[in-house]
């Protein structure tokens, strides 16, 4: 339950707000009550082109770009004079990916050991071991809401849903090269076209890797993935923790998911001694085991071969990099141009050694004064939540008590983690990009597996400090605000409260309210999945949530594609409650001052400006199908549920966004 899928959420700036009065003075093309997003952002939307190497662009993306430029400068400094062994590893890792000529000269040689291992698989038992060895800690269904892995299964190590005092391995569905089952099964022209392009991409990958019978192999891989997709849960069900809490013992797998040698699988995955698991997607896990049994060995070997190349193409010669971009960038996201080499290399270091980069980033760019001011804002917004809970007329006293307890025990991490991950065990070789990538992935998975034997750390972070994003982790009852989101134009230490509460304040409110959205409210103050609501409370909450889901399902970004109000419900609830709480906290800071209508306008305009973003149609379609967040334009529209917005902009019946007071959704 995080702020955005791709650091898209951002950002109010002092610059934007300074520019606003002029925009107000001119007759706006659109009335605020008809399209608030366009009213605030129309000029920007008309004047800005999405850069060719992007599937979307907005103030947030610009901030990501600036942050990346800063970090690359820091890396270049480390390369010249490494300050520690870890700093040298950062510089070497980056250099290995920047060494395009070296990668080209080696050709496919670095891939050969992995391909030879797959070729040597002689029976289903050996296949099962190879599938086990491919398991990586590469998904996170609850905090980062990342459900995607090309490996047959995804692994997540986290607290148990009902036992927040111990770490448990979670198994998730996987094995698809396209983002979701809908891409394989939906009967729409755009999906059919993508299927053709994906099939061609698989064949081209085989050809470029010098593997014979590329077309026939591609057809087999595609057919197998289609069968896997048919067993997958859809995106909406994936987000339902009540459907995910399936506790299986190691012995249960043979009975509940027959068809593969699970003991061999777990031994090979480093989970040999593990007794208890949580199976997030039981139907897909059982389906995959059935397919391991029924689909011919050669098809599975083709599947492993393709994905072992496809997943590491960033570290391979240009022809494979370009082919990968042609499908994943161009076809899937509508991005015309690949990003520059340095950006891709930086992304590789960010993925491999996130905390090492975070450490050097905050030392230079996150001053202690920012941390202090943000702590004060967090405390004010938490107070606003306490007051809102007290004022709820529908909530039973016992439920209120636990809600207060949950707020009181909330861990709020600001800027950076208290403990940094260690890369002491990571071997980095300056001229071995692929080896570095594989070793970093392996180390990450080993470190995650090691947690199974350690006490739970509620203060552990799940986002790097240099990421422009924020996250709520319900089982830890914790929130992280990475340093990179806590900077201008998003949070501006020199700006006034209207600006900062409309910007970062709404984000803080958003993350806090995830503790009380349809998912978060299922976890108690100790982080346990437990129903702590009375039946009447639950009924009111469900009714209010259903109204918000219906409000969002009625939005149609494309004539043939509506937003899924259920899939985006948690985020929409967090937006609504977060904006309301931040509004209250802002007004509390004005306690003895005269409140001007302009102040409220600034607050709401700041909010809408913080969502300004343009997306290519392909990326927008993908997001609507797979993202837990509604597109930014429609997230902005939640202002129509706040009475104060109507007063600030004189919104009248008959205007598109107008809701009669009884139809405005009020949850918290
Ligand atoms: Zn969120």
3-state secondary structure of 140: strand
Q: How many residues does the chain have?
A: 668
Torsion sign over Cα 570, 573, 577, 580: positive
Q: What pLDDT score was predicted for residue 597?
A: 81
Q: Which residues contact 80 (CB under 8 A, 6 or more apart)?
A: none
The structure tokens 């595609």 sit at: 222
Query: CB neighbours (10 Å) of residue 41?
Result: 28
**Measured in angstroms, how far is the CA atom of residue 664 from the centroid of ligand 1?**
21
- Distance between CA atoms of residues 257 and 266, nearest Å: 14
The torsion angles phi and psi of 168, rounded to 5 degrees, stand at: -140, 145
Q: What pLDDT score was predicted for residue 3?
A: 57
- Cβ contact 518:570 at 8 Å: yes
DSSP 259: T
Q: What is the mean pLDDT of residues 305-325?
A: 98
Q: What pLDDT score was predicted for residue 483?
A: 96
Q: What is the DSSP string of 385-419?
A: HHHHHHH-SSS-HHHHHHHHHHHHT-EEEEES-SS
Q: What is the mean pLDDT of residues 196-201?
A: 98
Tell whether the model's pLDDT for residue 28 goes beyond 70: no
The structure tokens 């993202």 sit at: 627
Q: What is the mean pLDDT of residues 378-385?
A: 95
The Cα angle at residue 658 between residues 652 and 661, in degrees rounded to 5: 95
Q: What tens digit of pLDDT does each residue of 449-492 get? A: 999 999 999 999 999 999 999 999 999 999 999 999 998 767 88
- Cβ contact 410:370 at 8 Å: no
The torsion angles phi and psi of 542, rounded to 5 degrees, stand at: -65, -40
Q: Which two tokens stand for residue 99?
A: 């060494």
Q: What is the mean pLDDT of residues 275-279?
A: 98
Alpha helix positions (H), 209-340: 214-231, 235-238, 241-244, 252-256, 262-269, 282-294, 297-310, 318-325, 332-333
Pairing of β 247-249 and β 153-159: unpaired
**Cα 320 from chain centroid?**
26
- Distance between CA atoms of residues 633 and 472, nearest Å: 23
Find the helix or strand (DSSP H, E) in which 127 lies.
helix 124-134
Pairing of β 478-482 and β 411-415: parallel
The structure tokens 């797979």 sit at: 626
Q: Band of the pLDDT at 14, cuts 50, 70, 90?
A: very low
- Cβ contact 168:159 at 8 Å: yes
**Measured in angstroms, how far is the CA atom of residue 519 from the centroid of ligand 1?**
11
**Measured in angstroms, how far is the CA atom of residue 141 from the centroid of ligand 1?**
13
- Distance between CA atoms of residues 199 and 223, nearest Å: 10
- Cβ contact 597:493 at 8 Å: no
Q: What tens digit of pLDDT does each residue of 140-169 get? A: 999 988 999 999 999 999 999 999 999 999
**Measured in angstroms, how far is the CA atom of residue 429 from the centroid of ligand 1?**
38
**Measured in angstroms, how far is the CA atom of residue 5 from the centroid of ligand 1?**
9
Adjacent-strand bridge partners of 411: 478
**Measured in angstroms, how far is the CA atom of residue 629 from the centroid of ligand 1?**
7
Q: Which residues contact 377 (CB under 8 A, 6 or more apart)?
A: 500, 501, 504, 505, 508, 585
The structure tokens 């960010």 sit at: 350
DSSP 213: S
The secondary structure of the chain in percent helix, strand, coil, rounded to multiples of 5, reads 60, 5, 35
Find the helix or strand (DSSP H, E) in which 57 lies.
strand 56-58
**Measured in angstroms, how far is the CA atom of residue 234 from the centroid of ligand 1?**
20
Q: Band of the pLDDT at 447, cuts 50, 70, 90?
A: very high
3-state secondary structure of 247: strand
**Measured in angstroms, how far is the CA atom of residue 277 from the centroid of ligand 1?**
27
Percent of the chain with pLDDT over 90: 84
**Measured in angstroms, how far is the CA atom of residue 1 from the centroid of ligand 1?**
5
**Measured in angstroms, how far is the CA atom of residue 51 from the centroid of ligand 1?**
26
Tell whether the model's pLDDT for residue 53 goes beyond 50: yes
Q: What tens digit of pLDDT does each residue of 554-574 get? A: 999 999 999 999 999 999 999
Q: What tens digit of pLDDT does each residue of 387-405 get? A: 999 999 889 999 999 999 9
Closest C-alpha among 132, 8, 109, 130 to residue 62: 8
Tell whether the model's pLDDT for residue 8 goes beyond 60: no
Q: Which two tokens stand for residue 596?
A: 């001007």
- Distance between CA atoms of residues 447 and 432, nearest Å: 22
Query: CB neighbours (10 Å) of residue 557?
Result: 17
**Measured in angstroms, how far is the CA atom of residue 603 from the centroid of ligand 1?**
20
Q: What is the DSSP string of 530-554?
A: ---S-HHHHHHHHHHHHHHHHHHHT
- Cβ contact 171:252 at 8 Å: no
Tell whether the model's pLDDT for residue 657 goes beyond 60: yes
Torsion sign over Cα 642, 647, 652, 656: negative
- Cβ contact 129:384 at 8 Å: no
**Measured in angstroms, how far is the CA atom of residue 570 from the centroid of ligand 1?**
7
Closest C-alpha among 402, 549, 484, 494 to residue 74: 484
**Measured in angstroms, how far is the CA atom of residue 76 from the centroid of ligand 1?**
34
- Cβ contact 8:470 at 8 Å: no
Closest C-alpha among 468, 477, 461, 478 to residue 355: 461
Q: Which residues contact 227 (CB under 8 A, 6 or more apart)?
A: 287, 291, 295
In 314-330, which positions are buried (b, 16+ CB within 10 angstroms) versus exposed (e)? bbbbebbbebbbbbbbb
DSSP 501: I
Asked if residue 109 has a cis previous peptide bond (ω within 30° of 0), the answer is no
Q: Band of the pLDDT at 383, cuts 50, 70, 90?
A: very high
Cα-only R_g, the chain: 25
DSSP 484: G
**Measured in angstroms, how far is the CA atom of residue 4 from the centroid of ligand 1?**
6
Query: CB neighbours (10 Å) of residue 602?
Result: 24
**Measured in angstroms, how far is the CA atom of residue 471 from the centroid of ligand 1?**
7
Q: What is the mean pLDDT of residues 120-132?
A: 98
- Cβ contact 150:311 at 8 Å: yes
**Measured in angstroms, how far is the CA atom of residue 143 from the centroid of ligand 1?**
9
**Measured in angstroms, how far is the CA atom of residue 423 from the centroid of ligand 1?**
30
**Measured in angstroms, how far is the CA atom of residue 168 from the centroid of ligand 1?**
24
- Distance between CA atoms of residues 341 and 320, nearest Å: 14
Q: What is the mean pLDDT of residues 72-99?
A: 96
**Measured in angstroms, how far is the CA atom of residue 558 from the centroid of ligand 1?**
24
**Which protein residues have their CB within 5 A of the ion that is ligand 1?**
571, 574
**Measured in angstroms, how far is the CA atom of residue 521 from the centroid of ligand 1?**
14
The structure tokens 């043939």 sit at: 560
**Measured in angstroms, how far is the CA atom of residue 514 from the centroid of ligand 1?**
7
**Measured in angstroms, how far is the CA atom of residue 651 from the centroid of ligand 1?**
28
Between 466 and 502, the more confident residue is: 466
**Cα 431 from chain centroid?**
31
**Measured in angstroms, how far is the CA atom of residue 396 from the centroid of ligand 1?**
26
């Amino acid at each position: 339950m995080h702020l955005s899928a791709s650091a898209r959420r951002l950002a109010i700036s002092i610059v934007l707000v300074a520019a606003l009065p002029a925009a107000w003075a001119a007759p706006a093309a659109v009335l605020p009550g008809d399209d608030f997003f366009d009213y605030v952002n129309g000029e920007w939307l008309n004047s800005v082109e999405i850069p060719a190497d992007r599937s979307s662009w907005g103030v947030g993306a610009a901030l990501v770009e600036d942050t990346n430029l800063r970090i690359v400068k820091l890396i270049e400094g480390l390369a010249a004079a490494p300050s520690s062994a870890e700093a040298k590893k950062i510089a070497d890792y980056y250099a290995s990916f920047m060494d395009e000529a070296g990668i080209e000269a080696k050709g496919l040689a670095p891939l050969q050991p992995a391909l030879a291992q797959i070729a040597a698989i002689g029976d289903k038992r050996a296949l099962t071991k190879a599938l086990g060895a491919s398991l990586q800690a590469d998904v996170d269904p609850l905090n980062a809401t990342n459900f995607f892995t090309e490996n047959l299964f995804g692994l997540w190590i986290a607290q148990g849903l009902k036992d927040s005092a111990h770490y448990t391995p979670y198994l998730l569905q996987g094995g698809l090269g396209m983002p979701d089952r809908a891409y394989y099964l939906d009967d729409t022209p755009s999906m059919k076209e993508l299927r053709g392009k994906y099939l061609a991409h698989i064949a081209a990958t085989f050809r470029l890797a010098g593997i014979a019978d590329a077309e026939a192999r591609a057809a087999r891989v595609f057919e197998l993935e289609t069968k896997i997709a048919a067993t997958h849960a859809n995106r909406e069900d994936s987000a339902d923790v009540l459907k995910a809490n399936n506790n299986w013992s190691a012995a249960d797998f043979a009975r509940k998911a027959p068809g593969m040698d699970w003991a061999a699988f777990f031994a090979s995955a480093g989970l040999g001694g593990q007794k208890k698991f949580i199976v997030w997607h039981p139907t897909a896990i059982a389906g995959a085991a059935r397919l391991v049994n029924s689909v011919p060995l050669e098809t599975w070997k083709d599947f492993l071969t393709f994905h072992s190349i496809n997943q590491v193409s960033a570290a391979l010669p240009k022809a494979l990099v370009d082919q990968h971009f042609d499908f994943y960038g161009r076809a899937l996201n509508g991005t015309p141009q690949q990003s520059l080499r340095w950006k891709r290399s930086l992304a590789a270091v960010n993925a491999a050694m996130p905390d090492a980069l975070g450490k050097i980033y905050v030392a230079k760019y996150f001053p202690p004064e920012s941390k202090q001011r943000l702590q004060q804002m967090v405390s004010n917004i938490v107070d606003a939540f306490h007051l809102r809970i007290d004022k709820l007329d529908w909530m039973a006293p016992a439920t209120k008590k636990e809600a207060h307890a949950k707020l009181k025990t909330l861990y709020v991490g600001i800027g950076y983690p208290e403990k940094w991950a260690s890369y002491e065990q990571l071997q980095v070789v300056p001229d071995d990009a692929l080896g570095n990538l594989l070793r970093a992935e392996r180390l990450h998975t080993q470190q995650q597996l090691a947690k199974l034997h350690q006490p739970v750390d509620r203060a552990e972070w799940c986002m790097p400090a240099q990421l422009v994003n924020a996250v709520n982790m319900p089982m830890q009852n914790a929130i992280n605000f990475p340093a990179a989101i806590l900077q201008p134009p998003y949070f501006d230490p020199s700006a006034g409260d209207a600006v900062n509460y409309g910007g970062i304040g709404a984000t803080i409110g958003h993350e806090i309210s995830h503790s009380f959205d349809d998912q978060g409210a299922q976890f108690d103050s100790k982080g346990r999945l437990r129903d702590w609501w009375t039946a009447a409370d639950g009924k009111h909450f469900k009714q209010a949530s259903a109204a918000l889901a219906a409000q969002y399902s009625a939005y149609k970004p494309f004539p043939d594609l509506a937003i899924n109000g259920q899939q985006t419900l948690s985020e929409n609830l967090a937006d609504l409650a977060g904006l309301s709480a931040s509004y209250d906290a802002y007004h509390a800071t004005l306690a003895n001052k005269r409140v001007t209508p302009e102040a409220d306008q600034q607050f709401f305009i700041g909010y809408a400006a913080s969502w300004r973003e343009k997306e290519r149609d392909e990326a927008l379609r993908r997001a609507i199908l797979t993202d837990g967040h509604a597109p930014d334009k429609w997230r902005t529209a939640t202002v129509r549920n706040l009475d104060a917005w109507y007063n600030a902009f004189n919104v009248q019946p008959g205007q598109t966004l107008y809701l009669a007071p009884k139809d405005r959704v009020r949850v918290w």
